[in-house]
Amino acid sequence: MADRIATGETFAIIGARLLAPDGQWLEGHAVVVANGRIAAIMPETALDRAIACHRIAGLLVPGFIDVQVNGGGGVLFNDSADADGIAAIGAAHRRFGTTGFLPTFITDTPERMQRAVDAARAAATAEIPGFLGIHLEGPFLNPARKGIHDAALIRPITDADITVISNLARDLSPRFRVLVTLAPERVPTDALSALADAGVLLSAGHTAASAEDIATARAHGLTGFTHLFNAMPPLAGRDPGPVGAAITDPQAYIGIIADGHHVSSVSLQAAIRAHGPKRVMLVTDAMPPVGIPGDTFSLLGRTITRAGGRLTADDGTLAGSDLDMASAVRNAVSQLGVPVEEALRMAALYPAGFLRLDGELGALRPGHRASFTLLDDDLSVVATWIDGIVEQAA
């Protein structure tokens, strides 16, 4: 396999089993790439002999898309809110099959949030590999469901916030996205509508919303749920809350952290069976330790300890995860009983749909960007392509 292939070159990848958009596996087929996009998928026997061919072995699948990644490779987006920080996070997660990601900025001061907004513009201009936009997780949350977020920094949304976020979404469109996680019971419906009308994606998280609150927010632009079950009240017989609202809404997108620590596998299995796997997205909620050794790191002034795959503050509060997307896929198969093909779509096709980028990413389809991942039979990452540029996993 060539170490790098120029995006302007036309070439074909042959020899691998290809995951089709319908979940079927194609054998004996080639993926033809031109100018960073998939030009065709055809039987190898039909290839033009003049096309350069690169033979590989394994499973060629759509590149993973992570809509919630706080850090990786020793970098935390809140602390490194610039294009270089975003690039470092992307590079760390690319080793684990992620070819598209939203660096996630958690609740912080308005000044630091503005730096994150500026970083998103800079990353878009610099065309950082895999950068698909920005996720602002907070600060418009419910303090009663703060999780690791600093309650002192959680605040109501203002007109100035709406202007800043809406302008960013308009500036980054159509290629990039802005996602905001918020507590819908604490954000006025006119604010939800203003953000949604500007193209901002809205997700409910760190919330104590009632099912009725969720229904109202859905009518005003809410489309997703951030790390279902976590930082939410549990489903109860007379109070279904956000969990009940999510799993009974087949049109909603649901993010889950399948690391075996954030949520019981039984609860995740129940949610997937109630909702159906379509529109259920694997996310990492990853923190700086992913991809590097080390037992501790600092998160907004608090020491976080890594032990046994868990990241916790001194009071036991979970502080993001030590998860990567390839591990999330394997866990979905081994712990949740999800078929391999469905787990792979939960890592690519459904996140692309949530981001409204499924006309560009998430499937091996002619016309799509040539961003895909090569796996071995154990679902470990061998190589990735982003817009036709290949990089072998370390």
Q: From the annotation, which residues make up the binding site? A: 137, 148, 206, 227, 230-231, 238, 262, 318-320
Residue with tokens 């590079």, as numbered in its chain: 91
Please give the structure tokens belonging to residue 331.
């866990």
List Cβ neighbours of 158 (8 Å cut-off, separation of 6 or more): none
- Binding site for substrate, by residue number, is 148, 230-231, 238, 262, 318-320
Locus of tokens 């997937």: 272
DSSP assignment of 211-250: HHHHHHHHHTTEEEESSTTTTSPPPBTTB-HHHHHHHT-T
**Radius of gyration, alpha carbons of the chain:** 20
> Annotated binding site for Zn(2+), which residues?
137, 206, 227
- Quick check: bond before 233 cis, omega within 30? no
Report the C-alpha gap between 235 and 244 in whole angstroms. 6
CB 370 within 8 A of CB 385: yes
Write down the catalytic residue from 213, 259, 285, 322.
285
CA of residue 315 relative to chain centroid, distance: 28
Rounded to whole angstroms, the Cα distance separating 251 from 299 reads 34
Helix axes 159-172, 110-126, angle to 10 degrees: 10
Neighbouring C-beta atoms of residue 189, cutoff 10 Å:
13
Report which of 286, 300, 143, 299 is spatially closest to residue 206, judged by C-alpha positions.
Answer: 143
Amino acid at 288: P
DSSP 390: E
Sheet strands side by side (includes 11-14): 37-43, 29-34, 11-14, 52-55
Residue 358 appears among annotated catalytic residues:
no
- Tokens 């020793």 found at: 74
Is it true that the peptide bond before 139 is cis, omega within 30 degrees of 0?
A: yes
Complete DSSP assignment for 163-177: HHHHHHHHHHTTT-E
Catalytically active residues, by annotation:
285
